[in-house]
């Protein structure tokens, strides 16, 4: 886990991730983005939409800290993943793919930016104790909200980063 022991560290991590991702997507046009191959059968656009969709879950968790309610996840309730196993995640990934497949790259990138805005707003708005104290919320499964969700988001990005960079650096 990254050293995410303060609001400032959480914000710096989110901003650095946003800048890195913005740098990766800069200069990729719609036609390039639709070419399959950045991650198995997915296109570059599909991969960015996938990362963005999962960041919606991160935003939902942080925003739930503001309301005190359980997070409202960005997928149908029938795909609920309280006890995440690979099958559940595959179904959610499929739902995200199908939900974003026909969107233009510009819309995907705009949504990506909005998720980062939501993360930053929630981190700034939450009391630091709510961000950093483990088991602060009944649904947090014992982890500290801020470090738990931001570290998960960062790890998820790094899971796909090499594929994105390889695709960008491929001979055309």
The CATH number given to whatever domain includes residue 164 is 1.20.120.450
What is the predicted pLDDT for the residue at 40? 75
The pLDDT averaged over each successive group of 10 residues in the chain (172 residues) is 87 97 89 78 92 96 93 85 63 94 95 98 97 92 93 94 84 70
Does 76 reside within a domain?
yes
Does 1 reside within a domain?
no
Residue with structure tokens 């595959």? 90
Nearest to 105, CA basis, from 30, 23, 27:
30
DSSP β-bridge partners for residue 144: 134
Does 36 reside within a domain?
yes
Does 2 reside within a domain?
no
CA distance 27 to 11: 26
What is the predicted pLDDT for the residue at 172? 66
Does 42 reside within a domain?
yes
- Domain ranges, residue 17: 7-22+30-137+146-168
What is the predicted pLDDT for the residue at 166? 83
What is the predicted pLDDT for the residue at 98? 95
DSSP β-bridge partners for residue 43: 36
Number of structural domains found in the chain: 1
Does 80 reside within a domain?
yes
Whether the CB-CB separation of 120 and 12 falls below 8 Å is answered with no
- pTM (2 d.p.): 0.92
DSSP 114-137: HHHHHHHHHHHHS-HHHHHSBT-S
């Amino acid at each position: 886990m990254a050293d995410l022991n303060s609001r400032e560290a959480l914000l710096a991590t989110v901003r650095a991730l946003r800048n890195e991702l913005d740098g990766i997507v800069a200069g990729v046009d719609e036609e390039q983005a639709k070419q399959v191959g950045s991650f198995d059968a997915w296109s570059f656009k599909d991969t960015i939409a996938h990362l963005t969709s999962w960041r919606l879950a991160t935003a939902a968790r942080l925003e739930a800290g503001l309301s005190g309610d359980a997070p409202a996840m960005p997928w149908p309730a029938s795909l609920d993943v309280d006890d995440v196993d690979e099958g559940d995640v595959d179904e959610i990934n499929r739902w995200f793919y199908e939900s974003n497949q026909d969107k233009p790259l510009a819309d995907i990138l705009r949504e990506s930016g909005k998720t980062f805005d939501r993360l930053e707003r929630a981190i700034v708005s939450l009391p630091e104790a709510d961000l950093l104290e483990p088991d602060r919320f009944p649904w947090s499964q014992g982890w500290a909200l801020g470090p738990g969700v931001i570290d998960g988001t960062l790890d998820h990005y790094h899971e796909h980063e090499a594929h994105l960079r390889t695709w960008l650096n491929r001979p055309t």
